[in-house]
Amino acid sequence: MSKASILIIDDELQIRRLLTITLHGDFVVSEAATAKEGMLMAASHPPDLVLLDLGLPDENGHDVLRHLREWYNHPIIILSAQTSEEDIVKALDAGASDYLVKPFRTGELLARIRTALRKSTTADHGPVMTFGNLVIDFAARKVTKENVTVKLTATEYSLLALMARNEGRVLTHQHLLREVWGPSYVQESQYLRVFVAQLRKKIEADPNRPSLILTESGVGYRFSGT
C-alpha cells in the first residue's frame, strides 16, 4: 500500500518543519503557509488528510474549513492555539474530523492521524468489535465483558454502539444527543452525563478511571479501544 498523503496548512514555519519531520517517515507530506496556497494545493492534488491551523493570516480558519468541506471528503484535523471550547465545537460541527490544541504531543498527533485515516478507509467494521475484554456484537445487539453479558438499556446500547463505531474520534455532546436521543434533545446534556456515568459503571474496569469512554472536557467524548 502506498503512503498516505498529508497536507499541512500552517503559517508558522517552525511548526511546519516540526510536523514534516514528525510525519515524513510514514506519510507523503506537503506544506502550505497560507489559506489561499493551501486551498490551491488541496484542489490540485487532493491529499488523504489535511492538518489545518485555525489561526491563518489571510483567512479565518473556520471559513477555510467550511470552503474545504464543500468538496473535500477526507479527514481534516484542526490544529489550534486557541483553547476556547466553543471554537473547537464550532470546528467539529463544521466538519472537522478531530482537533489538537497547541502545544500537543507528537505521539498524540500520530495517533489522531492514524485514527482519522483508518476511519476514512474502512467505514464498515463488520458485525463484531473487540476492545480488550469488551466485545460488542452489533448484529445481536449484545455486549459482553470478560465473556459475561452486560445488561444495557436500549439507550445505553445506542450510545455505546455509536461511540464504538467512531472509535478514536471525538464526538461532541450535541452530536451524541442528536443521534441517540433525537434533535429536540441537543441541549439536554444532563441525559448524556447520567448515561455516560451509568455506562462506565457497567463496562469500565474502574469507572472512576475510565479507559474506554474518555471525556474531552467541554467538547464531548472519545471512545478509546486501545
Q: Point out which residues bind another protein (CB under 8 A).
A: 83, 85-86, 103, 153-155, 189-191, 193-198, 208-209, 215, 217-218
| Smaller CB separation from another protein, 147 or 209 | 209
Strand 128-131 and strand 76-80: the pairing is unpaired
CB of 125 to another protein, least distance (A): 25
- CB neighbours of 20 closer than 8 A, spacing ≥ 6? 8, 29, 31
CB of 185 to another protein, least distance (A): 12
Query: Quick check: bond before 103 cis, omega within 30?
Result: yes
CB of 139 to another protein, least distance (A): 21
CB of 109 to another protein, least distance (A): 16
| Smaller CB separation from another protein, 37 or 87 | 87
| Smaller CB separation from another protein, 7 or 88 | 88
| Smaller CB separation from another protein, 138 or 191 | 191
Assess contact for 142 and 164: CB atoms under 8 A: no
Helices 106-121 and 13-23, axial angle in degrees (round to 10): 60
